[in-house]
């Protein structure tokens, strides 16, 4: 299994996440854009993920809610800006618990002879916003999310 690489250079406003999946690009794209499959991979296993909205089209809204064992909810939302199947998704990302801290994320999927290279670039409004996201546990969450996605697409 491939490892997830996370790059956050000091003083920059971006985080870059890369991973190679042992699955075809079409399958990876379908998995990340299917509201029925998102709860199986998006977020840590300790949460239940609910897809509240998922309008996969330019201008469409998305909203996912994590629910913990005690019933506490943590919601994330954004707007799709560009959907180019099966190669690119551009969207905003905002944690509702900290409104106003919006990042712009671009996910690129590259075909690598039956495998898929995922490169996600998140650009934050400031270095402070980016650093705050990293301090919130983003790295561990991103690695677990990518591991769960890999399990799903590689056994399909």
Q: What is the pLDDT of residues 18-36, one digit of tens each?
A: 999 999 999 999 999 999 9
| Helix H or strand E segment including 66 | strand 61-67
Distance from chain centroid for Cα 24 = 18
Contact 109, 117 (CB under 8 A): yes
Between CA 34 and CA 26 the distance in angstroms is: 12
pLDDT at 39: 98
pLDDT at 136: 87
Indicate if the pLDDT at residue 127 is higher than 60: yes
Between CA 130 and CA 112 the distance in angstroms is: 30
Indicate if the pLDDT at residue 2 is higher than 90: no
pLDDT at 116: 98
Average pLDDT over residues 116-123: 98
pLDDT at 156: 87
At 132, is the secondary structure helix, strand, or coil?
helix
Mind listing the pLDDT tens digit for each residue in 44-100?
A: 999 999 999 999 999 999 999 999 999 999 999 999 999 999 999 999 999 999 899
Compute CA distances 88 → 9, 96, 129, 132, 148, whole Å. 23, 25, 24, 26, 20
Query: Quick one: fold of 5-155?
Result: Alpha-D-Glucose-1,6-Bisphosphate; Chain A, domain 4 (3.30.530)
**Closest to 49 (Cα-Cα) out of 28, 35, 29:** 35
Q: Report the half-sphere exposure of 33 (CA within 13 A, side-chain side).
A: 24
Contact 91, 76 (CB under 8 A): no
pLDDT at 137: 87
In the predicted model, what is the mean pLDDT of the chain?
96
pLDDT at 113: 96
Task: Give the domain ranges of the chain.
Answer: 5-155
CA 154, 86, 61, 121 torsion: positive or negative?
Answer: positive
Indicate if the pLDDT at residue 1 is higher than 70: no
């Amino acid at each position: 299994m491939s490892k997830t690489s996370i790059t956050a250079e000091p003083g920059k406003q971006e985080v870059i996440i890369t991973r190679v999946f042992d699955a075809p690009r079409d399958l990876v794209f379908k998995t990340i854009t299917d509201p029925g499959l998102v709860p199986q991979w998006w977020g840590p296993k300790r949460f239940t993920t609910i897809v509240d909205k998922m309008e996969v089209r330019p201008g469409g809204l998305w909203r996912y809610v994590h629910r913990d064992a005690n019933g506490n909810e943590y919601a994330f939302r954004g707007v799709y800006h560009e959907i180019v199947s099966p190669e690119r998704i551009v969207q905003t990302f905002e944690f509702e618990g900290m409104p106003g801290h919006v990042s712009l994320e671009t996910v690129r999927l590259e075909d690598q002879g039956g495998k898929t290279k995922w490169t996600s670039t998140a650009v934050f409004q400031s270095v402070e916003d980016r650093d705050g996201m990293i301090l919130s546990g983003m790295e561990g969450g991103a690695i677990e999310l990518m591991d769960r996605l890999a399990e799903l697409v590689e056994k399909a």
